[in-house]
Structure 1
Amino acid sequence: MTDTEDTKKLVDLLKDQHIGMLTTYGPDGPRSLPMARQEVEPDAELWFISARDTAHTRAIQSEPSVALTFSSRDSWVALTGRAAVVDDDAKLKELWNTFAEAWLPGGPEDPNAVLIKVEVDHGEYWDTPGSKVASLISFAKSKLTGEPYESDHGTVTP
């Protein structure tokens, strides 16, 4: 991904959005599940901890195309990219946390623990900056004037 203002904004929004929906496109067709994002690199590369013996890791190994969606109270991010199942003990230990241990109680040494790395090909974000009051004012203005609701929107491509 290129280093643009939109990329920086997208990465900044993702820092506050820890749980997203990962959609895989393996042999069984599209399948979405919640995943906890562990890290966002400055170029919008994302890391997840997963179990090796799951349907989504098998789907990624079969077809690396994925889609991800994240949301918070006032912003949304949609991404597409290519995922890879990565065996990197040092990176796994670096990213390990107690949240991952709930699914993989054997810790980062568990042979079933693996990383998923997603390199983003395309992303979009929508952000309604400001407080809840500012959002309500923008919504009211939209209703009164007939103009579309104002939000910050950006598209990121390589």
Structure 2
Amino acid sequence: MSLIAPLRRQLPRVVRRAPLLTSVRPSRTLRFHYQSFSTTTANMSFSNTDTGSKTADPYVAKNLDEPSELKEKVGDLISFVDKSKYCMMTTRIASSGLLVSRCMALAAKEGNGVDLIFHANSESGKTDDLESDHDINLAFLQPSGEWASISGIASIETDREKVRKYYSSGLKAWLGDLGDGKHDGGPEDPRIILIKVKAKTAQYAITRSAAGALGNLVEFAKGVATGETAQVNKLRHLDESELQQWRSSSQ
């Protein structure tokens, strides 16, 4: 559920859902061919220099981490998401094609932990966004600099049994009781829906040092003093096939 109750737009709902003919969306082909953590100028569609045989992005090259077990790779992501709880959810505005983000609190997980569920108000702008474009991104961040970015496909769940399963009494504080005996913020309030995000790819960075932020600070200071690239994070990427393999492992 968004931490700030969204302001209702004044235009009629049917108008708000009508996409502008001038809206421009990135090609799916380009998005699907995105290469994560590129480290050489040869792999870049835009480059401002030529580093020759030297690594163009030494930070990425030095911090890339590929554990041998998928369990570790996915498990660390799930643990980080649980620890963070709050994320920025990015959707595309139906009426303009622009991107917008709002803070959301994780309500539950499915798909062996990689598909994320959020509460939402059916009358908020994000439901219009998702009806127009199901592509979504979730960005988690910690003060330490650890982060995770999950891209996926969102679906709106209105089934009351599922809503009741994940219902939280705290939702009353966000929806309020309208006093009509129906819209009371309770589990049967038709405004309460679920947004389920089926992850397609995930990228994340967690701290490498056992000493945490202090260890990273030492590594950073060493890099400033010597010019040696700091090795502070474990940078990892999960593709669609790995996430599907992980879902299937729970069956």
Give the structure-1-normalised TM-score: 0.89
Match for residue 84 of structure 1? Answer: 155
Describe how 1:13-24 pairs up with structure 2 within 5 A.
13-24=80-91
Match for residue 7 of structure 1? Answer: 74
> CA offsets per residue over residues 100-154 of structure 1, 9 Å max, x none?
2221232221111000000011111011143332121121122223222221110
Describe how 1:48-67 pairs up with structure 2 within 5 A.
48-67=118-137
Which amino acid is the alignment partner of residue 140 of structure 2? F
Corresponding residue pairs, total:
156
Q: Percent identity?
A: 28
Describe how 1:2-151 pairs up with structure 2 within 5 A.
4=70, 5-27=72-94, 28-29=96-97, 30-41=99-110, 42-74=112-144, 75-105=146-176, 106-129=185-208, 130-150=211-231, 151=233
> CA offsets per residue over residues 33-74 of structure 1, 9 Å max, x none?
111111233341000000001110111111100111011122
CA distance in 1, matches of 2:84, 2:193: 22
The runs of 5 or more residues in structure 1 that have no matched partner are none
- Seen in structure 2, the aligned counterparts of structure 1 residues 99 and 145 have a Cα distance that, compared at 3 Å, is farther
Check whether the contact 1:20–1:68 (CA below 8 A) recurs between aligned residues.
yes
CA distance in 1, matches of 2:140, 2:109: 13
The higher relative CO (CA closer than 8 Å, separation ≥ 6) is in 1
Check whether the contact 1:15–1:40 (CA below 8 A) recurs between aligned residues.
no
| Runs of 4+ deviating beyond 4 Å | none
- How far off is 1:91 after superposition? 2.6
The runs of 5 or more residues in structure 2 that have no matched partner are 1-68, 177-184, 241-251
CA distance in 1, matches of 2:159, 2:128: 18
Residue 154 of structure 1 pairs with residue 236 of structure 2:
yes
CA distance in 2, matches of 1:141, 1:60: 46
CA distance in 1, matches of 2:170, 2:207: 29
Which amino acid is the alignment partner of residue 101 of structure 2? S
SS in 2 for 1:147: coil
Give the structure-2-normalised TM-score: 0.58
- How far off is 1:98 after superposition? 3.5
Which amino acid is the alignment partner of residue 90 of structure 1? E
Check whether the contact 1:11–1:40 (CA below 8 A) recurs between aligned residues.
no
